[in-house]
Structures are given as structure tokens and as C-alpha cells.
């Protein structure tokens, strides 16, 4: 477990994000991260066990910030439909606003099988937020009563994850946020929401 906090810790994390995004996780050397962060290579090992621990720490830190932002956005919304829209927009906007983080989270994090189990642990609180929106929508009659909450969460997260990964690896330049409204409409239809019922 890494020591958390402090300027050097943050400098190392941010340097690692830039280096891993540009060179790939497997091609990234700890010495290169140290140079980018402006610290001695040995300093990194005061905060992180190894490169894998550093990668997981990036994910934990960024996911914690992301979940806090999603939670705050959801709290501002008046109903489940608005919450779903806010969730979609916030997910895509956070990634669009920091392409280096997007690259590390959507691509590099998945190149090491050893980290996958840890990633799922970190994602659980985000999954709970998504399930909360779906369950509230069912209770309020906004979404169809026969929607399976867990299946819906997998579909919602899967859709957002797929469009985000495609954007990161695409050679074509476009705004990820261009997909927010189309994805939202597809999800509402799949949940049996108002857009579906009106047709």
C-alpha cells in the first residue's frame, strides 16, 4: 500500500500518468517517471511498492475524485431521468477533460491482468451509484418495473466504458461529449423510460 499525500506523492502520480499515457504501461520505466516528476528514483519507492502499485494508486486517486464529482452532480438533479443524464455527461466529460488520465484508465490499466481484481474493488462504489439511479427510476415509475437493476448497471457502465475506450484509441479526432446525448437516449429507451413509451 502506498503512502498517500504530499507534494511529492502528487508529483509522482501526475508524472506517471503522463509517461504511461505517452509510452504505455509496459514500456514505462520507473526511472523515466522519476525524471518527469523531478525526484530521485529511490524516492518513488518511498511511496509505492512497484510500478503496479503506482498504476493502482493512479486509478484509486482518480476514481475517488471522479466518484465524488458524480455524487455531487447526482445530488443536484431533481429526478432519476435527470440523474441518468448527469451520470452520462459527467462520466464522458471527466475523461474528455484529461486525455492522459483517460488513456491510462481506459487502456493501460487493462494491460496487466494482476490489477484487474483490484480495479473491480475500486469500481464497486461507482456501480452502487449507477444501481441507485436505476432503482430510484423504477420506484418512481420512470423506468419499466421489470428492469433488472444489476443488468441495467452493467449495460450503462458497459456503454460508457466502450464509447470512452473507442474515443481514446481512435485516430479520428472528435469530442467524446458528442456521444453523451445519443448514449443517454439509447439508455433511456433500454430502461423503458419516457422516450421509449412515447414512440
State the pLDDT at residue 113: 75
Question: pLDDT tens across 139-193, in order?
Answer: 999 999 999 999 999 999 999 999 999 999 998 999 999 999 999 999 999 998 7
Mean pLDDT within 14-26: 94
- Residue 39 contacts residue 18 (beta carbons within 8 Å): no
- pTM equals 0.89
State the pLDDT confidence band at 78, using cuts at 50, 70 and 90.
Answer: very high
d(CA 118, CA 123): 9
Question: pLDDT tens across 33-66, in order?
Answer: 999 999 999 999 999 999 999 999 999 999 999 9
| Radius of gyration from C-alpha coordinates of the chain | 19
Q: Which domains are present in the chain?
A: 51-197 (1.10.357.10)
State the pLDDT at residue 47: 94
d(CA 61, CA 2): 11
Please list, in sequence order, all residues whose beta carbon lies within 8 angstroms of the beta carbon of residue 149, skipping any fewer than 6 positions away: 131, 134, 135, 138
Question: pLDDT tens across 85-104, in order?
Answer: 999 999 999 999 999 999 99
Amino acid at each position: 500500500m502506498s503512502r498517500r499525500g504530499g507534494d511529492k506523492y502528487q508529483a509522482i502520480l501526475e508524472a506517471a500518468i503522463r509517461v504511461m499515457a505517452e509510452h504505455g504501461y509496459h514500456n514505462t520505466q520507473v526511472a523515466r517517471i522519476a525524471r518527469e516528476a523531478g525526484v530521485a528514483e529511490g524516492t518513488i519507492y518511498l511511496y509505492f511498492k512497484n510500478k503496479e502499485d503506482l498504476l493502482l494508486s493512479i486509478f484509486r486517486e482518480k476514481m475517488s475524485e471522479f466518484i465524488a464529482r458524480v455524487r455531487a452532480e447526482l445530488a443536484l438533479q431533481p429526478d432519476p431521468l435527470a440523474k441518468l443524464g448527469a451520470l452520462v455527461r459527467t462520466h464522458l466529460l471527466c475523461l474528455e477533460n484529461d486525455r492522459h488520465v483517460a488513456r491510462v484508465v481506459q487502456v493501460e490499466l487493462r494491460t496487466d491482468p494482476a490489477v484487474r481484481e483490484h480495479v473491480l474493488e475500486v469500481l464497486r462504489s461507482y456501480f452502487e451509484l449507477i444501481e441507485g439511479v436505476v432503482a430510484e427510476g423504477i420506484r418512481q415509475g420512470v423506468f419499466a418495473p421489470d428492469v433488472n437493476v444489476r443488468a441495467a448497471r452493467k449495460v450503462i457502465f458497459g456503454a460508457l466504458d466502450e464509447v470512452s475506450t473507442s474515443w481514446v484509441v481512435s485516430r479520428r479526432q472528435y469530442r467524446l461529449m458528442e456521444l453523451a446525448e445519443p448514449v443517454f437516449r439509447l439508455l433511456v429507451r433500454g430502461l423503458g423510460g419516457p422516450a421509449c413509451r412515447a414512440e
